[in-house]
């Protein structure tokens, strides 16, 4: 596992740093030449796409992708079905149990092992082989489990450290690069009457997602948490909560709420994602910046994830669905749409040299952070993230319990979850 992750990281780093000269043009060309040779490209057909996009910038990108496909295939109808995030997997599995479901799913891919087990989605390996971008995809974009490609990420999302420059300047502080500096900064700003760090602390996997970098920096590598490092990390971070550096009610604060509160200008930091770039541009009334997560003895490494494109198992139009993904989300043009529209990182190697990725002071930080990001754990490990690790972190931020006790209990409970057959 560790080896695989490390390899993936290295590949990603390579992918993000190496620009394939002329790759963009080649990608475009091959895409359009292939499309005309495909059967049924000019004919009709309909696709149902399930998604949970509810933010304007995201739905706009979704609609642009579809419009570009319909423009090339006038007979095709695309039906977008919104399913709330919380109900998506439930609805997919219930639909599969009844022998039906959508053609394409753009949703959280962390449950893809379960979705595959329930026959809600199918192996995309042969589909991806027909894509013009098949050799151009960053390895981290594919969710491969037991040799099956369960889903492919059209873009990467990850967190880094956002800081309020106006507040830091007031105390003559620099954006922190280590946990020690971070603690000094937090102590200084909170002493001066400003507020500290915001991050998702809700009792599910999102709090594990947000705090992941703070744990890796202290040598905690989920799911191998049965180490003394976990206990000391819980004690250290639990101290942040008890000192008031992290407000205790982050336990009911999800990522977007944390961002919205950060944008009020009262908080010095938030650990938050690249998908908020446009939002921040629009609403921030103070100077802000983004820096990579603070390092400890080990580097602070976030998860890289994002929505995942999956193919429905009960699709009647499998070939068209595959073609849709090829020509929209995974085409260079489609990838640029998501970069421009939601600030999400492209997953094609050939696009890693896009001017925006380097010149934009904020996106470039996320690109840098991506070079040491890790994939979200699959299957039971993910379930453990939602049911044990996330709730334990949430309790840690609440500060009602002894951090060492929480760590110990999390270690024991996680063993039970990981022992279950998948």
- Residues from 357 through 376 that contact another protein (CB under 8 A): none
Per-residue binding string, another protein, 172-211, x by CB under 8 A, is -----------------------------xxxx-x-----
Choices 62-70, 146-154, 165-173, 259-267; region in contact with another protein by CB under 8 A: 259-267
Phi and psi based region of residue 201 (left: phi greater than 0; alpha: psi -120 to 50; beta: remaining): alpha
State yes or no: residue 242 binds another protein (CB under 8 A): no
Q: How is residue 216 written in tokens?
A: 């890796």
Task: Identify whether the C-beta of residue 306 lies closer than 8 Å to the C-beta of residue 155.
Answer: yes
Q: Closer CB to another protein, residue 206 or residue 323?
A: 206
Query: E strands, 87-182, where?
Result: 104-108, 142-145, 148-152, 155-156, 159-164
Q: Closer CB to another protein, residue 204 or residue 350?
A: 204
Q: Closer CB to another protein, residue 14 or residue 284?
A: 284
Taking CB under 8 A as the criterion, the residue among 138, 392, 407, 414 binding another protein is: 392
Q: Closer CB to another protein, residue 249 or residue 287?
A: 249
Phi and psi based region of residue 272 (left: phi greater than 0; alpha: psi -120 to 50; beta: remaining): beta
Choices 99-107, 208-216, 289-297, 345-353; region in contact with another protein by CB under 8 A: 99-107
State yes or no: residue 402 binds another protein (CB under 8 A): no
Taking CB under 8 A as the criterion, the residue among 67, 400, 402, 405 binding another protein is: 400
Q: How is residue 181 written in tokens?
A: 């500096």
Q: Closer CB to another protein, residue 218 or residue 383?
A: 383
> If binding means CB under 8 A, how many residues of this protein chain bind another protein?
75
Q: Closer CB to another protein, residue 45 or residue 201?
A: 201
Q: Closer CB to another protein, residue 20 or residue 117?
A: 117
Please, what is the minimum distance in Å from the beta carbon of residue 420 to another protein? 8
State yes or no: residue 213 binds another protein (CB under 8 A): no
Choices 27-35, 98-106, 289-297, 325-333; region in contact with another protein by CB under 8 A: 98-106
262-273 burial, b if ≥16 CB within 10 A, otherwise e?
A: bbebebbbbbbb
Query: Which residues inside 22-81 make contact with another protein, applying CB under 8 A?
Result: 48, 52-55, 58, 79-81
Beta strands at 345-346 and 155-156: parallel, antiparallel or unpaired: antiparallel
Task: Identify whether the C-beta of residue 141 lies closer than 8 Å to the C-beta of residue 153.
Answer: yes
**Nearest C-alpha neighbor of 38 from the set 336, 350, 321:** 321
Please, what is the minimum distance in Å from the beta carbon of residue 279 to another protein? 8
223: preceding bond cis by omega (within 30 degrees):
yes
Taking CB under 8 A as the criterion, the residue among 94, 319, 333, 411 binding another protein is: 94
Residue 337, classified by CB atoms within 10 Å of its CB into exposed (0-12), middle (13-18) or buried (19+), is: buried
Please, what is the minimum distance in Å from the beta carbon of residue 84 to another protein? 5
Please, what is the minimum distance in Å from the beta carbon of residue 117 to another protein? 4
Taking CB under 8 A as the criterion, the residue among 17, 33, 46, 87 binding another protein is: 87
Q: How far apart are CA 355 and CA 352, in angstroms?
A: 9
Q: Where are the alpha helices (DSSP H) in 153-288?
A: 165-170, 179-191, 205-216, 228-242, 255-262, 277-283
Q: Closer CB to another protein, residue 128 or residue 407?
A: 407
State yes or no: residue 91 binds another protein (CB under 8 A): yes
Beta strands at 142-145 and 345-346: parallel, antiparallel or unpaired: unpaired
**Nearest C-alpha neighbor of 151 from the set 227, 207, 88:** 88
- The SS3 call for residue 75 is coil
Element (H, E) at 45: strand 45-51
Residue 3, classified by CB atoms within 10 Å of its CB into exposed (0-12), middle (13-18) or buried (19+), is: exposed
Element (H, E) at 269: strand 267-273
Q: Closer CB to another protein, residue 19 or residue 55?
A: 55
Taking CB under 8 A as the criterion, the residue among 152, 383, 389, 407 binding another protein is: 383
State yes or no: residue 90 binds another protein (CB under 8 A): yes
State yes or no: residue 248 binds another protein (CB under 8 A): yes
State yes or no: residue 251 binds another protein (CB under 8 A): yes
Query: Which 8-state DSSP code applies to residue 79?
Result: E
Query: Which residues inside 110-129 make contact with another protein, applying CB under 8 A?
Result: 111, 114-115, 117-120
Query: Which residues inside 261-290 make contact with another protein, applying CB under 8 A?
Result: 261, 263-266, 275, 279, 282-283
Residues constituting the chain? 422
Q: How far apart are CA 379 and CA 421, in angstroms?
A: 10
Please, what is the minimum distance in Å from the beta carbon of residue 44 to another protein? 18
């Amino acid at each position: 596992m560790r080896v695989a992750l490390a390899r993936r990281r290295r590949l990603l780093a390579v992918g993000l740093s190496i620009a394939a000269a002329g790759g963009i043009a080649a990608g475009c060309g091959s895409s359009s030449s292939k499309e005309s040779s495909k059967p049924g490209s000019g004919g009709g057909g309909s696709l149902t796409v399930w998604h949970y996009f509810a933010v304007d910038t995201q739905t706009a990108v979704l609609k642009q992708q579809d419009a570009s496909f319909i423009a090339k295939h006038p007979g095709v109808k695309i039906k977008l079905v919104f399913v709330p995030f919380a109900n998506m997997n439930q609805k997919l599995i219930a639909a599969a149990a009844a022998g039906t479901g959508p053609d394409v799913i753009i949703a959280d891919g962390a449950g893809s092992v379960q979705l595959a087990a329930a026959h809600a989605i199918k192996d995309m390996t042969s589909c991806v082989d027909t894509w013009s971008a098949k050799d151009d995809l960053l390895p981290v974009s594919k969710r491969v489990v037991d040799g099956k490609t369960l889903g492919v990420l059209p873009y990467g999302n990850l967190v880094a450290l956002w800081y309020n420059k106006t507040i830091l300047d007031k105390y003559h502080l620099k954006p922190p690069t280590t946990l020690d500096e971070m603690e000094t900064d937090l102590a200084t700003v909170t002493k001066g009457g400003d507020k500290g760090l915001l991050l998702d602390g809700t009792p599910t996997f999102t709090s594990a997602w947000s705090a992941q970098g703070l744990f890796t920096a202290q040598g905690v590598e989920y799911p191998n948490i049965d180490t003394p490092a976990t206990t000391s990390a819980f004690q250290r971070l639990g101290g942040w909560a008890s000192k008031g550096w992290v407000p205790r009610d982050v336990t009911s604060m999800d990522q977007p709420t944390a961002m919205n509160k950060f944008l009020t200008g009262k908080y010095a930091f938030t650990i938050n994602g690249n998908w908020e770039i446009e939002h921040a541009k629009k609403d921030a009334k103070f100077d802000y910046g983004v820096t990579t997560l603070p390092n400890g003895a080990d580097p602070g490494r976030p998860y890289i994830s994002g929505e995942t494109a999956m193919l429905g198992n009960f699709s009647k139009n499998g070939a068209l669905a595959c073609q849709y993904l090829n020509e929209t989300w995974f085409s260079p043009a489609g990838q640029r749409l998501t970069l421009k529209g939601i600030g999400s990182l492209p997953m094609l190697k050939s696009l890693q040299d896009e001017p925006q990725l380097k010149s934009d002071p904020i996106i470039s930080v996320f690109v840098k952070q991506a070079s040491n990001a890790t994939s979200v754990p699959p299957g039971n490990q993910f379930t453990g993230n939602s049911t044990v690790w996330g709730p334990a972190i949430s309790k840690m931020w609440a500060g009602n319990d002894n951090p060492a006790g929480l760590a110990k209990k999390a270690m024991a409970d996680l063993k039970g979850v990981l022992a279950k057959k998948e």
